[in-house]
Every structure is written in structure tokens, then in C-alpha cells.
A and B are shown apart, each in its own frame.
Chain A
Amino acid sequence: MTRASIWVLAEVVDGTPITTSLELLTHARSLASTVEAVAWGAETAAAAATLGEYGATTVHDVGDLAGALPGVPVAAAIAALVEGGAAPDAILFPATYDGRDVAGRLSARLDLPVLTNVVGLDEEGDALSSTHAIFGGTHNVVARFTGSGPALFVVRAKSFAAEPSGGAPAAVVAAPAPDTGATNAARVVARHVEERSGPKLDEADVVVSGGRGLGEKDAYAMIEELAGLLHGAAGASRAIVDAGWVPYSHQVGQTGKTVKPTVYLACGISGATQHMVGMKNSKNIVAINKDQDAPIFSVADLGIVGDVHKVVPKLIEALKARA
């Protein structure tokens, strides 16, 4: 282990760090002797125990942002720490909406390049090398930085397992954002949480997803019914999210959730590369598509060439009969 320290951006939701941040803390422990977290919001103190349990000795607390979007103030706070002499060897960001914003802002502020869509991070001599899945996961690219300064990596969810180290609660140290003037002017005025029942999409053991092949919005009801019967979660391709059939929180793929369930059931989904990167590592994949040449069949363990409007209702009936 040649690195002294790695920082991890810890996003905290309802007092709990998101799983991807815990995955990053876990992996960072194997790459550096000291692991620290950076968090913001009113609940950092509540999250310090969990952050410590996963390996962070310190959490730099940017504090409450008073409704500001995190990108600008959190990047400014990290930049101030780095410029103040506390620079770590690397900073890892979860590939979330806010994580990408903070990473982008910080990169420009410190004039440091950033590598995104990282799915693996290894020691290669003195440097860290990152792995990126391209072309829908058919190829892996390995990259590394050639310059100096902290290495910035934005890492996709579920790239590493989250395992506690049994560490003591992280020490909370205030790291307030310096004034960034008019740049920090975007304000969240209302939050809308799309309620859903059953297990969370990125944690469910079974995911049933629907795509444009469903033909119409109302047909998504059968996806939800099937997911319910299998005690799973209902997901979607971006095509039907953009069409307004289902909320964004259902989206699986590059700009949506990454899922790795025991079974992923794709109904009327073509298997675009951007969809595949979000579900290709599922343990088992079942696809129903009327086009035998649909790319989704190239990753399916069981593929049914058929009409979702025929196969899915029958499947629902069969499962109900067993119940």
C-alpha cells in the first residue's frame, strides 16, 4: 500500500450514507492507510458512526447547504482543504447526480482531470488504475492519470462490495464552504419523492423491467403486478421513462440505477448498450422480446421470442395459481 490517504464523497440520505459511498470506503481501505469522508447536510453527525464502521477515521463536514445544490459549495470546501495542504492521493465520488456535480466542479476548480464511469480501481505501481466498461460492457478499458495532484474518480454503484471494518465512529471536523458568490445560486425549493412499494430497485432480489415494447403506458401495470408476485421491484428502460409512462426513479442503466439481482426479467426491452451497463451483471437474465435479433438476447440466460402481451399475462396467471 503506497498511498497515504484517500477521501470518499459520502452522500447522506435521511441520516444514512448511501450504499455506493460505503462501497467506496470499503475499497479505499485496501488502497490507502488512511480513509476519510467528506459529507454535507444537517445529518453528518448521525452518519459518522456508519462512516467509521466502514473505515473513515474522519468526516469533513461541509454542513447544511441551506437549499443550495451540493456541486458548487461542496467542491469549494474540498478545494479549500486540498489547497490548505491536506491533499489526499485520490478522491472517490459515487456516480450519482450530486456526485458527478461535485466531481466536475472540483476538477475545474483544481484544474485536475477526472475519470468517470469507473467500475474497478487497482494499484499499478505507484499509481491507481481505473477500469471502465465500454460498448455496453463487452470491453474493458484500463486508464490512469499521468500528472500530479489528487486523482479524481467517479465510480459506478455496485463496483465493489460494502463490508464493515468495525471502526470507531468517524471524528466530525467542520469544513465549511468558502464564499463562492453568484456561482452558488441554484436553490432547491421543493423536493418530490416518488413513492413506491416493495423492495428498493437497487436492492431487490428480483427485478422486472418493462420497455417500449409494452406499447402503452397502461401496460406497465402488468410489470408492477408481476414484480409484486415475485416480491421484486419494477424497473424500466429510459425510453418509457422519457415518455412519461413511469417515474425516473424506475430507470435502470447508465443514467439510472445499477442492479445486480438474482433474476432480471426484461420485458419488451431491446438491450441498448446504455441499458445493459445497468443490468448486465445480474446473476440471471430472462428476456421476453418479439424480435429474435434483439441485443438483449445476447446476455439472456433464458430468452423467450414472443409477445409480452401474451407471455406476461400467462406468467402472472401461473404465479397466482401457485400462490
Chain B
Amino acid sequence: MHAMNVVVCVKQIPDPAAPPALDPGTHTLDRSGKLILDDSDAYGVEMALQLADAAGGGEVTLVSMAPNGEVSGLRTALAMGAAKAILVSDDALAGSDALSTAKVLAAAVRRAEPDLVLAATESTDGYTGTTPVQMAELLGMPSVTFAKKVEIADGTVKVERQTEAGYDEVTCPLPAVVTVTAGVVEPRYPSFKGIMAAKSKPVDTLTVADLGLDPSEVGATGSRQEITSVTEAEARQAGEIVTDEGDGAERIVQFLEQLKVI
């Protein structure tokens, strides 16, 4: 048995339950308010804890990039059981795109010297869906995306990878980057003890300069893209909403007949 050190990339995002807002100046998502752990990342955290446990030891380290030194989401993941966190927070990062973010995450991940790096397939708020693979390329690591099952044996990660037609069994030597779907494991709820313990777990806060990155490589400048307009999409014409009084099925039959589907 080898101890497994796992890094989980986690994003702290505005509460998806609240109505989203765009910054009127930059048209980027307004992230100035309180942030929480992206629910999509709870799966990676849980998976990491289970893999470290199965390996008989090792640590789970969180890596996150967030504005304003935000730690609330990190505390949630620490309360689940992660040992420590690296947070990259710097005003120079505002407006970063997926590739800039990947550069920052790669530089931070490198410090933790992990055996395995986990991330979600995409974030809930930005859902670009390329950041983990871009990071893997920068780290010079292989990657397996869309894992619905992850096992480690003899320095190799075995993954069931979702495909358009079903799934593939994929093997990959460590270290590697794996992105997990929401079906991979059932995340635990932090216990009271976990929440208390999380308060004193170390969070190493770094700047762009600490990582040895040039500020022009990241943030709005490094993104090399701009949003030129945001408009309301053409709304669908309001339909007919009726309460089923035993005639719901009949209403549907009539509708399908009208469309000549039946």
C-alpha cells in the first residue's frame, strides 16, 4: 500500500439558487458577493477522500482560485475531510478565462506534488469544460475526463468514462488528472466535528507573483477575448398550462393530434 496524495480543484461560486447577475461593465458573471462550494466539486472531494482512505493513507489537498480571499467554500470541503487548501487570490486574476485559470491551477497543483488530481467535468457557473484538460497539458500529465467510476490499483487509475454510446474502461498511470461526473460517488455531509475541525485547517493563500506567473498571462489581459454584447433571447410564446382534473392525458392526445404526430 502506498499513501495517496490527491489534489482536488474546487471552485467557489455565487449561490446557483440566487438569480445570476452579470457585471454591467465587463459582462462577466458577478462574483463579488459571498461564494459557496460548487456542488459539482463535492463529488471530487468525496472521491478523493475515499481513494486516500482505500490507499491506507495520504492527504487530500484542495486547490482553488477565487476573488477576495474567499474561503467559505473551502471550509465546506475541509469540513468534509480534506486536510488543507491552497487558495490563489489576486486582483490581477479578475476576468480570467479557462486557459488563464488552468495556468494558475497548474502552478498551484505543482506545489502539492500529487499522485492524482481530481476536478469536476465543468463548473456550474462557467461550464467551459476545458480547464482540467488545459491544466493537465500544462502539468504534462495524462487525463481522463467524464469518470463515472474511479479505482486505483498499483499506481494506475482505472476509470469508467462516459461516452456518447455508453462508457469506456480506461486505464492510466499516475500521476494523472481525472474529471468526475455527479454520478461517481455520493458526497457526505460535513459532520459537526468536521465543521469545527475545518476552522483550524491550514489555508495557504498565494498571489500570482508567488506562483511565478506574469500578471499579463492571466486575468482579462491573458484571456485575449471580449464579450461584445448580451441580449435577451427571443422568449418562447407562453403556452397553455392546465391542472389535471382527470383529463390531462386527453389534453395531450388532442395536442399530439393537432400536430399530426398521431
A138 touches B262 (CB 8 A): no
List residues 99-121 of chain A with CB under 8 A from any CB of chain B.
Answer: 100-101, 103-105, 107-109, 111-117
Q: Does A166 sit within 8 A of B, measured CB to CB?
A: no
A141-B227, A311-B244 known; A101+B145 contact, CB < 8 A: yes
Q: Bits for B122-142, please: 1 = Cβ < 8 Å to A, else 0.
A: 100001111111111110111
Task: Kindly list chain A residues whose C-beta atoms are within 8 Å of the C-beta of B230.
Answer: 134, 139-142
B241-262: contact bitstring with A at CB < 8 Å (1 yes, 0 no)? 1111010111111011001011
| Bound Cα distance from A317 to B171, whole angstroms | 48
Across the interface, which residues of A come within 8 angstroms of B1, CB to CB? none
Q: With A186-B176, A241-B183 in contact, is A301–B252 under 8 Å at CB?
A: no
Q: Are A154 and B225 in contact (CB under 8 A)?
A: no
Q: Is the CB of A286 within 8 A of B255?
A: yes
User: What number of A residues sit within 8 Å (CB to CB) of B?
Assistant: 96
- Contact call B166/A249, Cβ cutoff below 8 A: yes
Q: What is the CA–CA distance of A307 and B132 in the complex, to the nearest angstrom?
A: 41
Taking CB atoms, residues of chain B closer than 8 Å to A12 are: none
Question: Does B67 sit within 8 A of A, measured CB to CB?
Answer: no
CB-based nearest B residue for A261: B261
**Would you call A142 and B228 a contact (CB within 8 A)?**
yes
Q: Is the CB of A301 within 8 A of B240?
A: yes
When distances are taken between beta carbons in the complex, the residues of chain B under 8 Å from A255 are 121-122, 181
Bound: A83/B125 CA distance, A = 34
Q: Shortest beta-carbon distance, A185 to chain B, in Å?
A: 4
Would A101 and B143 count as touching, CB distance under 8 A? yes
B243 partner residues in chain A, CB cutoff 8 A? 292, 304-306
Contact A263 B259 (CB under 8 A): yes
Most chain B CB within 10 A, of A111, A186, A307, is at: A186
15 A-B residue pairings within 8 Å (CB atoms): A71-B145, A104-B98, A108-B99, A115-B225, A142-B231, A191-B165, A191-B166, A230-B262, A242-B181, A249-B164, A249-B165, A286-B252, A297-B241, A301-B239, A318-B249
- Residues of chain A whose beta carbon lies under 8 Å from any beta carbon of chain B: 13, 69, 71-72, 75, 96-97, 100-101, 103-105, 107-109, 111-117, 124, 129, 133-135, 137-147, 154, 182-194, 205-206, 230, 238, 241-244, 247-249, 254-255, 257, 262-263, 265, 274, 280, 284-286, 288, 292, 297-307, 310-312, 314-315, 317-319, 322
5 additional contacts, CB 8 Å, given A108-B137, A113-B98, A310-B248? A71-B145, A97-B162, A117-B127, A257-B164, A301-B240
